[in-house]
Amino acid sequence: MPVAPSLSAKSLEIRNKSCEGSALAPLTREDASAVGSSSIRESRVASRTTDSASVTDATTEESIFAIREMVTNHWRLETIFTGISLGVFDTFPPPPGNMTPLELATKLDLDESRCHRLLRALCSANVMTEAPAGFFQLNTTGNLLRKENANSMQPYLVLHSSTPMRKLWEVLPDALKKKNANKTTMELAYKVKDLAEYTAKKDMSYESVVSGGIGALLRSDNMAGLRVYSFAKFATVTDLMSGDGRLLCEIVARYPNMKGIIHKQSTSPWAKDYGPSIWPKKMNLESRVTEVPADRFTGASIVPSDCYIIRRVKVYSEARMVECFKAIHKVSPAHAKLVVISRLLPISCEQDPHGLALHDVHMMLSSNSRDRSYTETKDLFNTCGWKLNFADEWLGVTTLEFIKA
């Protein structure tokens, strides 16, 4: 590891003034030359910890600042939401292109001084970097918030910053009360059963917000699945929750001899709004990828395949899911595999670094459904005739392969 540069005379002066009246001894230039600045910071932190131990327990100190960090993370997210709503990310060029606060303020009709402060805050939110001479540019994460990025996650943030989604979290305290145990949060917030009814009765345009957000989420799930699982052994693959069809096309594009079927759920409340997928043509896969309207809950018109993919199984009730998995078991070939890509809850007392239990609460709010643990998921599929054959996880997304029992 390279040694950090020694402190300048000015830095030493500032540092030694801050030591006046404390237990820390002043530093000389020779002291600073002998150790790197990082070592000096570590020494000061150690001294502070020792000095304050008699006043406040170190663990309590850490917890206090952890709570402060929670609020800071809230500010970060709100700042990013603001950047999206103002069009900041779509106005910036992809990296390494850059802009000044004046250029951005002029294009978006913003106050230059406040615009500059917003850009600094976006740097603190880790989606932008500040370069010398007053230039700012998007980093890799910020670039993914541009709408034109092929892997854009902007729709996912747009969904979760939308008024309906925010409202669901606002009514969470009421949703937890015993008297409301049989009500969905959509009923409490908007007097409708679910998002589909909200779209139909309250805001027809919201369907595109929901589908865009779910599409971005499924793309990231697909990336996680491909990290740990290979589809190379299959000649035909049907995606039973295909969304816009892009995910299946990306899988088929990897394997020259594979054919894919984009399942279109014929009984979906939004089925009438589904248009043909643009992705087979866009990826030059029209000869190998076809769209088939079918019903995954009855098996009607389901095409025989070597593999069936299901994502996000928890959006349905238990009875509805059993209905689906049994139907696919009945109509699929004996050698068929069922590949499930989903989030699974950690077992009790297990650490949860990816916020899976938080996602479970989100599912309770958004669709009155729930996430399941590994054991629950395995047992659920067993009741439908499917036996677990493979399981692996990447960044909180688990991929499971089931074979016919």
Question: Where do runs of H (alpha helix) occur along 296-391?
Answer: 318-331, 356-367, 374-382
Kind plus residue range of the DSSP H or E element containing 10: helix 9-19
Read off the pLDDT band of 30 (50, 70, 90).
very low
Mean pLDDT within 344-354: 90
Cβ atoms of residues 397 and 221 within 8 Å: yes
Instruction: Evaluate if residue 25 carries a pLDDT over 50.
Output: no
Nearest to 355 by CA among 311, 389, 395: 395
Task: Please give the helix or strand (H or E) that residue 400 lies within, else none.
Answer: strand 397-404
Q: What mean pLDDT value characterizes the chain?
A: 85
- CA nearest 202: which of 211, 213, 212, 191? 191
pLDDT of residue 55: 54
Cβ atoms of 237 and 231 closer than 8 Å: yes
Domains for the chain: give ranges and CATH numbers: 59-143 (1.10.10.10), 207-404 (3.40.50.150)
Q: Is the pLDDT of residue 118 over 90?
A: yes
pLDDT for position 31? 46
Q: What is the pLDDT of residue 36?
A: 46
- Residue 111: predicted pLDDT: 98
| Strand, helix or coil for residue 307 | strand
What's the confidence (pLDDT) of residue 59? 87
Angle at 142 between CA 139 and CA 145, to 5 degrees: 150
Question: What pLDDT sits at residue 9?
Answer: 46
3-state secondary structure of 128: strand
- Beta-bridge mates of residue 237: 260, 307
User: 280-291 burial string, b = 16+ CB within 10 Å, else e?
Assistant: beebebeebbeb
Residue 23 pLDDT > 50? no
Return the sign of the alpha-carbon dihedral for residues 291, 292, 294, 296: negative
Q: How far apart are CA 306 and CA 235, in angstroms?
A: 7
Contact at 8 Å (CB) between 229 and 299? no
This prediction's pTM: 0.79
What is the sign, positive or negative, of the torsion defined by CA atoms of 70, 74, 80, 84?
positive
State what percent of residues in the chain have pLDDT above 70: 82
> What average pLDDT does this structure show over 304-328?
84
DSSP type of residue 94: S
Q: At what angle do helices 58-86 and 112-124 cross, to 10 degrees?
A: 130
State whether residue 20 is helix, strand or coil.
coil
DSSP character for 183?
A: S
Residue 271, phi then psi, degrees to nearest 5: -60, -35
Which tokens sit at 380?
């659920």
* Tokens found for residue 134: 């007053």
> Tens digits of per-residue pLDDT, 126-154?
999 998 889 999 999 999 999 999 999 99
Residue 309 near residue 243 (C-beta atoms within 8 A): no
Confidence of residue 241 (pLDDT cuts 50, 70, 90): confident
10: left (phi over 0), alpha (psi -120 to 50) or beta: alpha
The per-residue DSSP string of 250-302 comes to HHHHH-TT-EEEEEEETT-TTGGGPPPPSHHHHTT-TTTEEEEEE-TTT-TTP
The set of residues, in sequence order, having a beta carbon less than 8 Å from that of 193 and lying 6+ positions away, is: 184, 186, 187
* Through-space distance between the first and last CA atoms of the chain, rounded to whole angstroms: 55
